[in-house]
Amino acid sequence: MAVDILARGLAALAKQKAESLGDGVSLAGSIDAISDLPEPSASTQGQLYITTEELTTTADFVGGAGVTIPAGTTIGIVKSGGSYLYDATFGQLIDLTTLDSRYLSVSGTVTLAAASWSEGSYAFVVVGAGEADSIMFSPSTADDKLALADADVIVVTAGTTITFTAAGTVPTSDIVLNYTIVRGKS
């Protein structure tokens, strides 16, 4: 019963994260500074930006000002509690929009950066994923496998957002995962 309640809670968290982006999720580009971001609003909700430099959040971010975010982090414009804000808890981005339709799968690695875990969760977005696509993850090394086991990580997918939640100890080092995304027929 406790596992069922936890699973429903995590599914709700992933759904909330996905819904905060809205329906128009798109990779809008990369930024060097916070000032390069457009004003958070209904018209910019769902836009995702990749940081090219280490940045520090401002009051316009979910979680507030003063948080250092590493280069390569995905910042999304979200609706949170009735306000439009920046959210830097999406971690790394996987972009499938340029995937040639002749290919049935794509694979690579994604790093769950230790500094990017927010309240025991780490989320990232797969842009261009189809409803029938399958996403599989496996630890890259034995150390990554142990870190996942120590964290007792649970993975939940909601739309294009994938959320990893540490039911155990929140990871203190980066975890590298191999991923494979297989195109399904829709």
Average pLDDT, the chain: 76
pLDDT at 84 (0 to 100): 92
Q: Where are the beta strands (DSSP E) in 33-114?
A: 47-51, 55-56, 68-69, 74-80, 83-87, 93-95, 105-112
- Find the mean pLDDT for residues 51-61: 89
pLDDT at 22 (0 to 100): 60
3-state helix, strand, coil in the chain (%, to 5): 20, 40, 40
Q: What is the pTM of this model?
A: 0.57
* pLDDT of 8 above 50: no
Three-state DSSP class for residue 150: helix
| Six-digit token string for 81 | 């509690």
- Find the mean pLDDT for residues 136-160: 82
CB neighbours of 151 closer than 8 A, spacing ≥ 6? Answer: 166, 167, 168, 169, 170, 171, 175
The answer to whether 63 touches 78, Cβ cutoff 8 Å, is: no
Residue 30's CB: how many other CB atoms inside 10 A?
13
pLDDT at 157 (0 to 100): 74
- Find the mean pLDDT for residues 30-58: 88
Q: Where are the domains of the chain?
A: 2-87, 93-182
Q: Tell me: the pLDDT tens digits for 66-119?
A: 888 878 788 888 888 889 988 887 666 666 666 666 667 777 788 887 777 777
The answer to whether 78 touches 89, Cβ cutoff 8 Å, is: no
Confidence tier at 18 by pLDDT (50, 70, 90): low
